[in-house]
Chain A
């Protein structure tokens, strides 16, 4: 169980590190978020190559989505996706009710105190 906490802390620091090293104006125009997304995309690519090495060939899009929701999510987050919805025209909505990277943070005092102060426009 200890290694989960390590990754969680590293993950949180990653986000704050990217924001701290951001230059003037980058926070507003979303470049920090783009950087984080690109990092996640690259890591995901490597993970997917490793995991799909031994699985059968995917027949169609639904197969791919089922693989992501069941096998991939279980291997990375140790649980399955709770809800998968589609409009059968290429849009898929994946719902995870207890995202493991955020559960520790969302139950903490600091978040509960500050969340109410954030102004949602």
Chain B
């Protein structure tokens, strides 16, 4: 069960970050921020082992005492970071991979939305006057992204 999910743009600013609301959210934001260094290290192709892999899924970035942080990078250098509860030992690598796959698919759908400007935040709550039809489409696609992330967070393993 994911505790925090973040989508980080190529320039290392967050496009979407959402955590389980029960805890101090700033802690998760900080963890995601520090994990960016580890992601950069993994994609800079240092050492032969990393180059041979050439996968989008980066695996476990670093474990802390309560949480584990996993990473995934797309070919357009957009990074997905997921923080998972350590007490959930039943979560296997394959499940994390499939969660990242679903996230990537939803992100691609948001990218293809003509009313979404790349670089904007992915949010489903907008108060804009006029152009109701375009607003509805953007809202529904971002809502689909939101609901997909929600399903990952309340998933029972």
Residue numbers of A with Cβ under 8 A of B are 42, 45-46, 48-50, 52-53, 55-60
Contacts and interface: CB of A to CB of B under 8 A. Distances in A.
Contacts of A49: 74, 76, 107-108, 111-112
B112 A53 contact: no
A51 B107 CA distance: 13
Which applies to chain A's interface (DSSP): helix, strand, loop or mixed?
Answer: loop
Interface of B: 43, 45, 51, 54-56, 73-76, 104-105, 107-108, 111-112, 114, 118
Given A49-B111, A49-B112, A56 B105 contact: no
Contacts of A45: 76, 111, 118
A116 B108 CA distance: 45
12 contacts: A45-B111, A46-B111, A48-B76, A49-B108, A50-B108, A52-B76, A53-B74, A53-B104, A55-B75, A57-B43, A57-B55, A57-B73
A55 B75 CA distance: 8
Contacts of B54: 56-57, 59
Contacts of A46: 111-112
Given A42-B118, A45-B76, 8 more contacts: A49-B108, A49-B112, A52-B75, A53-B104, A55-B75, A56-B56, A57-B43, A58-B75
Nearest to A67: B75
Nearest to B53: A57
Contacts of A50: 108, 112
B75 A57 contact: yes
A46 B107 CA distance: 10
Contact of B55 (A42, A53, A56, A60): A56
Contacts of B112: 46, 49-50
Nearest to A57: B54
Contact of B108 (A53, A55, A56, A60): A53
Given A57-B54, A57-B56, A52 B118 contact: no
Contacts of A56: 54-56
A66 B76 CA distance: 15
A60 B51 CA distance: 11
B105 A53 contact: yes
A72 B76 CA distance: 14
Contacts of A52: 74-76
A52 B10 CA distance: 15
Contacts of B107: 49
Nearest to B57: A57
